[in-house]
Amino acid sequence: MHGLMQDWPLLCHKILDHAARQHGGREIVSRSVEGPIERTTYAAVRARALKVAQLLARQGYGEGDRIATLAWNTGRHLEAWYGIMGMGGVYHTLNPRLFPDQIAWIMKDAGDRVLFVDLSFMALAEAIVPQVPSIEKVIVFTDAAHMPQTSLENAVAYEEWLKGADGDFAWVTLEEGAACGMCYTSGTTGNPKGVVYSHRSNVLHAMIACMPDAMGISCRDVVMPVVPMFHANAWGLAQSAPMIGATLVMPGPRMDGAAIWELLDTERVSFTAAVPTVWLMLLNHLEETGRKLPHLNKVVIGGSACPRAMTRKFEADYGVEVIHAWGMTEMSPLGTLGTLKPEHDGLAGEARLDVKQKQGFPPFGVEMKVTDDENRELPWDGRTFGRLKVRGPAVAKAYYGGAGAEQFDEEGWFDTGDVAHIDAEGFMQITDRAKDVIKSGGEWISTIELENLAVGHPDVAEAAVIGVAHPKWDERPLLVVVAKAGRTPTKADLIAYLEGKVAKWWLPDDVAFVDEIPHTATGKIQKTTLREQFRDHVLPAA
Ligand code: AMP
């Protein structure tokens, strides 16, 4: 017997229809690439997205066509996304922080036919597009007055291009499993792998993200996704904010502490999200200027582990609730969020921070487990760590073109490549990337835990821990530190600081001071480069 409920396919453009109808006047505020702050509404974004869809369809693009974007978070980028999806196309976000050759490789792999690009990336586009024969058209997110001279063929200013449409267009009807978006993972080894989102997975993910114990946003919130749309869909906020009717503040090209603070303050942002590096810049700015965060209620921090000191500072000094979150491009990206459960009521001080330090529990729609190397499930005891595996309706079941097939098993579990433990309350804590964990005398040492502790030292700006070859123990930890400006901590200071906080055999054998720690295009510490840099490092004899 079948249910007798309507077939109402979960399609992304229905999110924008809903936003325009129910929250039509709600604003989308952008720091434009040209400079000024620009304001639009969900109703206007929908009207212009329809023009994008109409023009693309008229110019010969249709279902399944990959349309690339190389752009910051702005209202224009948002319109283009919905326009692309609404004519059946697949938005393909490109990360401008990758090397040009890598971006070109990704575009060729995806077979992108059109490129929408911000003014900031014109030189980059000029270097890349000639290497990508499938690109037929370049649309520059600007108006005629700001359109630069360019060597790109078939380049047009977005605002001029839009003048050719009246928006009299009906979104195409698709089945909900149709592809609507693509994003490549920034693999540290091998070629990047393409993740292909469907309308259904994006809509479900957006609903999941809005739930109270997930991101918990409402139409009363002013939401600022600092995390870029090119980094795992801005963690879904470009879909959940319109779905719930929240005001959106788009930070455009500026992510320095002063620029972020200005938007948080003038636009009265209540909810924001980004990687720890961004928040480090903001917190430094607040310390330097004595400014406060009177409007902000919640900050979601993920992409790499949120240092304990950061949670403490946001919550104790600025009254902002921190939600530590974990996810991956392959998971659309939300996996777990660290909102507390009633079981944690009554915890205070360091005991509360112990829980907030964890990456949290999954919302409905994500299942997880940890296994040993023989794929045996490990207990949820908050100690035993193993490979973290996940499944759910917004989790990838394959990569584009069949790459990385070994990460998916017959039961639908995706091996995240992360190492984690899960406690009795279901709270997961990442201890490492599988390839970064230090194996010392057959036992594992968590580099993330050591890094989190080290950045709690008052003289430390940033810390990374890597394994260095050791004749007896195979590998031992080396702590690499960037000191805060004007501070000169010593190795002895740092080791003494860590003593008593971790098992003795976890203590780093050595400390190296550097001016800078290398980062990947998504803001994670680039351990491969660091390991290369310290390959010949000789640890002091015990
Ligand atoms: P990406 O697909 O670029 O978002 O990268 C996903 C990876 O980032 C995960 O597999 C983790 O290794 C790492 N990651 C994301 N969030 C966190 C977090 N809160 N703590 C530690 N690692 C994280």
* Residues of the chain where predicted confidence (pLDDT) is lower than 50: none
Is 302 touching ligand 1 by the criterion CB < 6 Å?
A: yes
The Å distance, Cα 11 to ligand 1 centre, comes to 27
Minimum-distance ligand 1 atom for the alpha carbon of 186: 3
Nearest to 158, CA basis, from 139, 177, 133: 139
Q: Give pLDDT, residue 472.
A: 87
Minimum-distance ligand 1 atom for the alpha carbon of 359: 19
For 355-397, give the DSSP string: HHTS-BBPPTT-EEEEE-TT-PBPP-SSS--EEEEEE-TTS-S
Is 54 touching ligand 1 by the criterion CB < 6 Å?
A: no
Is 522 touching ligand 1 by the criterion CB < 6 Å?
A: yes
Compute the distance between CA of residue 139 and CA of residue 137 in angstroms, rounded to an integer.
7
Please choose from 326, 421, 436, 522 the residue to mutate so as to test ligand 1's pocket, defined by most ligand atoms within 8 A of CB: 326
Question: Which residues are known catalytic residues?
Answer: 185, 330, 439, 444
Cβ 55 vs Cβ 161: under 8 Å: yes
Is 91 touching ligand 1 by the criterion CB < 6 Å?
A: no
30 DSSP β-pair partners: 38, 250
Could you give the domains of the chain? Answer: 13-211 (3.40.50.12780), 367-433 (2.30.38.10), 438-533 (3.30.300.30)
Please list, in sequence order, all residues whose beta carbon lies within 8 angstroms of the beta carbon of residue 449, skipping any fewer than 6 positions away: 431, 502, 506
Compute the distance between CA of residue 204 and CA of residue 109 in angstroms, rounded to an integer.
27
Predicted TM-score of the model (pTM):
0.93
What is the bridge-based pairing of β-strands 179-185 and 90-93?
parallel
Write phi, then psi, for 308 (nearest 5 degrees). Answer: -55, -40
Residues in the chain: 542
Per-residue pLDDT tens over the stretch 41-83: 999 999 999 999 999 999 999 999 999 999 999 999 999 999 9
Angle at which helices 491-498 and 447-454 cross, to 10°:
110
Compute the distance between CA of residue 472 and CA of residue 216 in angstroms, rounded to an integer.
50
Cβ 438 vs Cβ 447: under 8 Å: yes
The Å distance, Cα 300 to ligand 1 centre, comes to 13
What is the bridge-based pairing of β-strands 222-225 and 247-250?
parallel
Q: Give pLDDT, residue 188.
A: 57
Please choose from 300, 428, 430 the residue to mutate so as to test ligand 1's pocket, defined by most ligand atoms within 8 A of CB: 430
Is 446 touching ligand 1 by the criterion CB < 6 Å?
A: no
- The amino acid occupying position 512 is A
The Å distance, Cα 320 to ligand 1 centre, comes to 22
Is 304 touching ligand 1 by the criterion CB < 6 Å?
A: yes
The Å distance, Cα 522 to ligand 1 centre, comes to 9
Contacts within 8 Å (CB) and 24+ apart, 374-380: 375/409, 378/421, 380/422, 380/423, 380/424, 380/426
Compute the distance between CA of residue 307 and CA of residue 356 in angstroms, rounded to an integer.
10
Contacts within 8 Å (CB) and 24+ apart, 280-285: 280/310, 280/461, 280/462, 281/255, 281/256, 281/257, 282/257, 283/257, 283/310, 283/313, 283/314, 284/257, 285/256, 285/257, 285/258, 285/260, 285/261
Buried residues in 145-166 as b, exposed as e (16+ CB within 10 A): eebeeeebeebbbbbebbeebe
What is the bridge-based pairing of β-strands 155-157 and 137-140?
parallel
Please list, in sequence order, all residues whose beta carbon lies within 8 angstroms of the beta carbon of residue 116, skipping any fewer than 6 positions away: 67, 68, 69, 70, 71, 77, 80, 139, 141, 158
Q: Classify residue 283 by its DSSP letter.
A: H
Ligand 1: which residue has its CA nearest to atom 9? 328
Minimum-distance ligand 1 atom for the alpha carbon of 520: 3
Buried residues in 89-117 as b, exposed as e (16+ CB within 10 A): bbbbbbbbbbeeebbbbbbebbbbbbbbb
Please list, in sequence order, all residues whose beta carbon lies within 8 angstroms of the beta carbon of residue 163, skipping any fewer than 6 positions away: none
The Å distance, Cα 205 to ligand 1 centre, comes to 17
Is 326 touching ligand 1 by the criterion CB < 6 Å?
A: yes
- Token duo for residue 530: 């660091």
Nearest to 371, CA basis, from 425, 416, 308, 314: 416
The Å distance, Cα 196 to ligand 1 centre, comes to 18
Report the Cα–Cα distance between both ends of the chain, in Å, rounded: 71
| Residues 524/309/233/339 CA torsion (nearest 10 deg) | 140
Please list, in sequence order, all residues whose beta carbon lies within 8 angstroms of the beta carbon of residue 359, skipping any fewer than 6 positions away: 302, 305, 324, 325, 326, 335, 336, 338, 420, 427, 428, 429, 430
Please choose from 328, 329, 337, 433 the residue to mutate so as to test ligand 1's pocket, defined by most ligand atoms within 8 A of CB: 328
Q: Give pLDDT, residue 542.
A: 59
Helix (H) or strand (E) holding 208: helix 199-210
Q: Give pLDDT, residue 223.
A: 98
Per-residue pLDDT tens over the stretch 188-208: 567 899 999 999 999 999 999
